[in-house]
Every structure is written in C-alpha cells, then in structure tokens.
A and B are shown apart, each in its own frame.
Chain A
Amino acid sequence: MHASGFDRTRPLLLAAMAVLALAGFAVGHPDILSGANFGSMAVFGVEIGMIALGQTLVISGGDSGIDLSVGAIAGLAQVVLGRLLHADVTWPLAVAVTLGVGLGLGAINALAVTWLRIAPIIATLATLFGYAGLALVLSGGTNIDLTQQSSWFLALGQGHVLGLPFQLIALYLPLLAMFAFLQHGTGYGRALYLTGTNDRAAALAGLRVGRLRGAAYVLCGLTATIAGIVGAARLGTARPDAGMNDNLISIAIVVLGGTGIFGGTGSVVGTALATVVIAIVDYGLSYNDFNPIYQAGVIGVILIGVILVENPVLAWRARRFK
C-alpha cells in the first residue's frame, strides 16, 4: 500500500468524476457552464473545503478519529461573531475573538478525546449537542443580520481579487498550502501519519500520541471557525444552524479524496480535489432546485459508494504486494 504519500490514480479518478458530474448537469442546463456559476461553485466549495482540510488531519490521525461537531462549531462561531459585531466591537477584533473561541472549541474536543479518553464519535457527538445548543442560546434561536456591517468585513465572503472570489484566493488556497506543507513537509505531519498507522509504535518511538491527535482536533476546530466566519460574511447573516450537514459532507470529501478511514494515509491535496467534485455535485443539485435534503442524500450515496468500491481494491492491492 502507498504509505503516507499520494495515490497517483486518485487525481485522475477525481478529475474524471468532476468532468462527468459537470457534463451531466450541463446536459440538462447548458448555462451552468458560465463563469458566474463557476464562481458560485468555488464560493460554496471554499467553506466546506476548509472544514475538510481539518477533518483530513483528524481522520488520518487514526483511532477512529472523526469530528462530528464541525458544523456546530461553524454555527456557534457565526453567532459569537454576530453578537460581537452587534455589540459594536470593531470587525477585526470581533473576527480575532471568534477565531480564539474556535480554537477553544477545538481544544475542548481535543481534551475530551485525548485527556478524558472518550471515543471520538461520542465525544464530538456530545460537543455537537453542546455547541449547537449554545449557538441557539446565544442567538435566541434567530438569525442575526450582518448586512449593515463594515463593507471590509463583508468582503471576506463577497469580495474579489483579480476577478476571483476573495475567500478562494486569499483564504482557502493559502490554507491549503499551509496544511499540505504541515502534512508533507514537517515533522508533525510525519509523526501524525505514524500515529495513524500504528499508535503503539509511535508511542514507543517517543512520540506524544495524545498531543499529536489533539492538535489535529484544534486545527479542525479552527478551520470550521474560519469557514463559519466566511459564511457569515458571504450571506450577511449569522445563523445558529449554519453548518447542519457539514459533518457528513466534510467526511464524504475526505473519504472521496483518498484518506483511509482507518488512519495513517491520505493527503489534503486529495481532499482539495475531492472538494471540487462535491462542490460541483452540490451546486448542480441546488441549481436544479433540489432541496438540501436531497443534496445530503446524494452525498450519503457517494460516501458509501466510494468505500464500497475502494475496500475490495485495497484488499486486492494488499494481497498483491504481500
């Protein structure tokens, strides 16, 4: 099996899927192939794509690592930001405080998993409850209007650089580069791969397994927070339930991008390519007026389908290289 590296057939597969999906929608609606629509796809993909970067680290860290609370973090971040802006806090400070809160929420997940030793599914399910509840409490269950805020703040989600969406050029791509460097160019990345592959070996080699995994949850909380902030700026609203299906979609993206669900493999580069595929599918469905419930259903089918196809292939490779 490919070790930490990159499965070379994966980008081709994902590119083919992206073209197929796009072609499929273009048959029904040829006007989907316009520049404006590609811009909208990118804008949609950026937010879930950021969350998927963090989710990649969490899942590749092994030990059934998973973060189900990402959507709740995004929603709570939006509400915290909204309340701060309405309390006349200047927007750079409000964004900074929200980022700090997001780090804290990620740290709570990290502590629950590594210090309290609660299974990641249960720990992040519990924090999903908690964060989503807090978002409702802080917002009183209603959306917070942000359209009157500084145009500099709104530019985080609506601005353009060189004709391309601001958040794609100035936020997502740099973040992707940083995560790729972290994963493939630093000691932390290598240590996290080893932890995901064999945590006992990693611990015996002197690695602080708990801290390595914990850092992944903190980073995941941070990416979910940035995604929440960008989403609030894009729509000019803070919604407590903003990230409802984000856990499902981000996990589907990570799996589609070639990160093994048992840890120790995969790359954020694969995650980024898979984000393109999912963004096309999701945008195509909403362009054709499908209810978000159908989008989630289709992504559920993709998630299960990919693993069903992939498991026999992996087993076959393992046999061949034994």
Chain B
Amino acid sequence: MSAAVMGAPKVPRLRLPQGREALLLITLAVLVAGIGMFSHGAFWSRINLDNLFVSSAITLIPAIGMTVVMLTGGIDVSTGSMLGLTAAIGGSCFAAGWSLAATVPVFLLAGAGLGLVNAVLIIKGKIPPVIATLGTLSIYRMIVFIVLGSNWITQIPPVLTRVFVVDHVLWLPVVALIALGLVIVASLFLRYFRWGRHVYALGNNEEAARLAGIRPERIKLAAYVMLGLLTGFAALLTLGQSPMVQTSTGSGFVLQVIAAVVLGGTSLSGGRGTMAGTLLGTLVVQVVDDGIVLLHIQPFWNGVALGVIILAAIGLSSRRDAGGM
C-alpha cells in the first residue's frame, strides 16, 4: 500500500494547513486541564467522561459525512431536521412494536433517502447547497410535525441504550468505539482509495477534475447520501442516549456538526481537511459544551463561545492562507 502512495504525484495530506491538528490538540489540552481543575475533579468522573464520549460520538458520526460534503465544496444545513425526521420515522416503528433489528435499517434508509433528496436538488436542480438545504431544513421539520402531531414517542426499547451507551469495550462506550472505527475507515478511504482522492481533486478544482475524467456529480451524490445515512445512524444513537422523540429533536444539532468540521480545518472552498481534524474539532466543541455545564456557567454562553472559537480559528488560518492575495 505504501509503495502505491509514494508513487503517487500528489498526496492529499500535503495540501493541509500546517499545524492545525497540533493547534487543536493544544487547545484541547488547555481546555481539559482548565475544566479538570476548576470543576474540582468532576470532569474526570466516570459518568462525565462517558457522557462526553457518547455526545462526541453522536456529533462525530454525521461530522464524518459533513467533512466529505464540505471537501467537495458543498454544505448541508438540514442535518438537524434530518436527524429529527429520521428519529420520528424510526421512533414510530418502535412505537408500532417493531424489533430493534427490524428498525435499524429503517433509520439508515430514511437517512439515506433524505440525503438523496438534498443531493438531487443540489445536483440535478442546480440549487446552491446552502439554499437547497435551508429549504429542506424547514420542510423536514414540518414533516416531523406532521408525523408526530403533538405527541412524544417514548416507546424506545431499552436494549438500544444498553448496547450502545451502557456497555463498554476497552473502557469506552460502544458508540464511541464505533465512531472511532468510522473515522479511521473514512480517513484511510480519503487517503488511499481512488474515490477518496477524487473527493480532494473535485474540491480543489471541479473543472480540472472533470477534464481528468472524474464525474463530480457521482461523488457529490455519494457524499450527500452518505451524510444522510450517517445522520440516520446518529438519530438511532440519539434515542439510545435519551429515549424520547419530540418535535424539537435534533434542532441546533447541525450547528455543532458544522462547528466541529470547520474547527477541524476543513475549508468551505473545498479540497482541504482531514478526518483527524474533524475528530479533534468535535472533541473541542463537546468539551466546551461539557465545561459550561460543569463550571455552572449559564448555558446561553455556549453559542457565544462556539461562535467566537469558530471565527477566531478559521479567521486566523484563512488570513494566513490568503496572505499572498
């Protein structure tokens, strides 16, 4: 495998902003040290760490898909509504007495289907991604209301929580291990597989990629559908974390996902970014979230903190990158 990589003229990794991962690691270490100290050890409690890992995993899984979508130069702001709608559809199956094994495919297919709707609007309909998904954001949320009415779904099988959240393998909740595994697979895929390389090529210069024989539509389609699929999976895990579907399930979620991806160094102009960055970005977002709770800061500061962190992190690096312009 390594021979094939060394022989390749362009290794995508070389195109990444230098030191982004190091910067994130330092940020993370400072945050963890600070919160660990000021929370009088509460941060290091088993319960808090497990919560942190589960929440991180649920953000990270769609963030993997969002990273690929943004690498192709797109974005999907409908992810939170998509999570809510998939949870409503899957939750309705649970409420109808379906078994876990029968319902898991429903979550995945519903997610992939909603991702496909976005992909078709963006690719066939030629609507800019942010506008198309801003539209589906409100449409999917409307359908959640139609599906749920004014009811909550609470008949979530407890086995879901046990399997994914309570059970531990290697000191980590199962869901965190799954998320880590997906990050590694996605990372290897982007670095060593033809389609993965095409994603970067497409994000760097769509016209050149097309002339080189790459079919941008197919890669974009695959990216949005994959994001939908992963969001469907995240919806399932969300029900494992808190076993209830309500009309607001998933609102605000997309902001966390996008914050994690852009903090991780993936640029919206496409073609640069890594899964390792997204992993670290997710952890920073979740540790800030956790710290605000542990330090008894008003939760309203969460949005302010994230907004400032995003502007500072991207602003610094994009000014440096654009220095020559």
A-to-B contact residues, CB < 8 Å = 64, 66, 112, 115-119, 121-123, 125-134, 136-137, 141, 245, 247-248, 251-252, 255, 261-262, 291, 293-294, 296-301, 303-304, 307-308, 311
Whether B310 lies near A117 (C-beta < 8 A) is no
Residues of A within 8 A of B306 (CB): 126, 129-130, 133
Judged by a CB distance under 8 angstroms, whether B275 is at the interface is no
Minimum Cβ distance to chain A for residue B228 (Å)? 17
B298 in the interface (beta carbon within 8 A): yes
A residues in contact with B143, CB < 8 Å:
297
Chain B, range 137-186, C-beta contacts under 8 Å to A: 137-139, 141-143, 145
When distances are taken between beta carbons in the complex, the residues of chain A under 8 Å from B137 are 248, 300
- Interchain CB contact under 8 A, B142 and A300: yes
How far, in whole Å, are A91 and B139 apart by their CA atoms in the complex? 40
Q: Are B262 and A122 in contact (CB under 8 A)?
A: yes
**Closest-CB distance, B118 to chain A (whole angstroms):** 10
**Assembly CA distance A149 to B191 (angstroms):** 63
Question: How many chain B residues touch A (Cβ–Cβ < 8 Å)?
Answer: 45
A128–B258 CA distance with the chains assembled, in angstroms = 13
Question: Which residue of the partner chain, among A118, A121, A127, A131, contacts B318 with CB atoms under 8 Å?
Answer: A118
- Alpha-carbon distance between A228 and B269 when the two chains are bound, in angstroms: 33
**Chain B residues near A (Cβ < 8 Å):** 75, 77, 121, 125-128, 130-132, 134-139, 141-143, 145, 247, 255, 258-259, 262, 267-269, 298, 300-308, 310-311, 314-315, 318-319, 322
Pair B138/A116 contact, Cβ less than 8 Å: no
- Which residues of B sit under 8 angstroms from A126, Cβ to Cβ? 259, 306-308, 310-311, 314
The answer to whether A293 and B314 touch across the interface, beta carbons within 8 angstroms, is: no
- From known contacts A121-B75, A122-B314, A129-B255, infer whether A251 and B134 are also in contact, taking CB-CB under 8 Å: yes
Q: How far is the CB of B183 from chain A (nearest CB, A)?
A: 22
Instruction: Please state if B132 and A304 are interface contacts (CB–CB under 8 Å).
Output: yes
If A66-B130, A130-B304, A311-B125 touch, whether A296 touches B318 (CB-CB below 8 Å) is: no
Considering the chains assembled together, what is the distance between the CA atoms of A115 and B267 in angstroms?
16
* Given known contacts A118-B314, A125-B255, A133-B300, A248 and B145 CB-to-CB distance under 8 angstroms: no
> 9 A-B residue contacts at CB 8 Å?
A117-B322, A119-B269, A121-B130, A133-B307, A137-B301, A261-B128, A300-B137, A303-B131, A307-B126
Q: How far apart are the CA atoms of A132 and B305 in the complex, in Å?
A: 11
Supply 20 further A-B pairs (C-beta < 8 A) apart from A126-B307, A300-B137: A64-B128, A116-B315, A116-B318, A116-B319, A118-B314, A119-B267, A129-B306, A130-B304, A130-B308, A133-B302, A137-B301, A262-B128, A291-B145, A296-B142, A299-B138, A300-B136, A304-B136, A304-B139, A307-B127, A307-B131
